[in-house]
Amino acid sequence: MVPTFLVSRLIRDHATVALGGDGGDELFGGYLAYRWFEHQETIRRLVPPLLRRAAGAAAGLLPPGVRGRGYLMGSAGDLSQTFGYANLFFDVATRRKLLAPLAIDVRREPEEARAALGACGGSALQRATAVDFQTYLVDNILVKVDRASMLASLEVRAPLLDPRIIELAYGRTPDRLRALHGTRKVLLRRLAGRVLPPAMDVTRKQGFSIPLHTWFRGDWGRFFHDVLGSSQYFDRGVTRHLLRGQELGLVNTHRIFALTMFELWMREYKVSI
């Protein structure tokens, strides 16, 4: 959100309308995670279900922030379950502990909803991109770009989301021209190589992110501690565990940032549950 707003503000100095590339990753297989999904069918053929379930249960005992934890938990079931756990910030057990002060009923709806979308049939890549197109793209990416750009009074249009391109990607483009064997967005990169100047790097992928890991070691880290240490909504023992895990080398910055922003939002608008 923050880098998108800063870029939008810079563009607004020169234009009132801009073209964005949103949808390219979901339509043509641009995310690194798709490589993992490619291998899932092979893993399920080679590893017995009992062993996969044991590995999934063991992964659930690991603390949040351990790399690969969610993927291992998802591997315990069929391929659809893997989609349910991919990039999941908090699994249901952690959510129950985290939200214990609110005494609300925490269920598996997020995991089950994504798993249901991933049960549509087709190859692993087709199913993974379809899940992201219906969830991550609409609930995260498009919301982020719309709000950040309009905050800068900039209109961003998404030509890749033209229905004809969506139909081309999902209905007529084979996996080998989307993402295969570690190569991503094959068709788009071939097109870019033909129409863009040779000096343009069409293979490099750079996400819009902020250096949370670096920030955590400075004043922002102390701010996160202060906010979550006085939380009225989240279990402070769980937040302390997340903060301590980050200090010990786990990958919890996005979880910590999300909880901090949510806590501040609740306070700002005096939301009660």
Residues 223 and 143 in one domain: no
Same domain, 32 and 115: yes
Please name the helix (run of DSSP H) or strand (run of DSSP E) that holds residue 157, with its range, or none: strand 155-157
Q: Which of 184, 207, 230 is the C-terminal boundary of a domain?
A: 207
pLDDT at 103: 85
Q: Identify whether 91 is part of a domain.
A: yes
Burial of 188 (0-12, 13-18, 19+ CB in 10 A): buried
Instruction: Tell me whether residue 271 is in a domain.
Output: no
Would 200 be classed as within a structural domain?
yes
What is the reported pTM? Answer: 0.88
> Could you tell me if 143 and 244 lie in one domain?
no
Per-residue confidence (pLDDT) for residue 141, from 0 to 100: 95
| Total domains, the chain | 2
- What pLDDT score was predicted for residue 170? 94
Residue 273 lies in a domain: no
Burial state string for 53-76 with b = 16 or more CB within 10 A and e = fewer than 16? eeebeebbeeebbeeebbbbbbbb
**One domain for residues 46 and 177:** yes
Residue 183, strand partner residues? 180
115 in any annotated domain = yes
- Are residues 108 and 5 both part of a single domain? yes
Residue 21 CA to residue 246 CA, distance in Å, equals 33
pLDDT for residue 271:
86
The Cα angle at residue 146 between residues 144 and 152, in degrees rounded to 5:
105
- DSSP-derived secondary structure for 44-95: HHHS-HHHHHHHHHHHHHSPTT-TTHHHHHHTTS-HHHHHHHTT-SS-HHHH
Distances in Å between the Cα of 153 and the Cα atoms of 21, 76, 140, 208 are 19, 47, 20, 20
Is residue 270 domain-resident?
no
244 in any annotated domain: yes
Instruction: Say what angle helices 253-268 and 219-229 make with each other, to 10 degrees.
Output: 60
Cα–Cα distance for residue pair 89/230, rounded to 1 Å: 21
- Residue 228: give the domain boundaries: 212-264
pLDDT at residue 39 in the model? 79
Taking only the tens of pLDDT, the chain with its 273 residues reads 999 999 999 999 999 999 999 999 999 999 988 888 877 778 888 889 899 999 999 999 999 999 989 888 888 888 888 888 888 899 999 999 999 998 888 887 888 888 899 888 888 899 999 999 999 999 999 999 999 999 999 999 999 999 999 999 999 999 999 987 778 899 999 999 999 998 988 888 777 889 999 999 999 999 999 999 999 899 999 999 999 999 999 999 999 999 999 999 999 999 877
Q: How far apart are CA 157 and CA 21, in angstroms?
A: 9
| Residue 156, in any domain of the structure | yes
Distance CA 205, CA 203 (A): 6
Q: How far apart are CA 65 and CA 138, in angstroms?
A: 26
Give whole-number Cα distances, 191 to 175, 194, 196, 197, in Å. Answer: 16, 5, 8, 12
Count the Cβ atoms, other than its own, within 10 Å of residue 81. Answer: 20
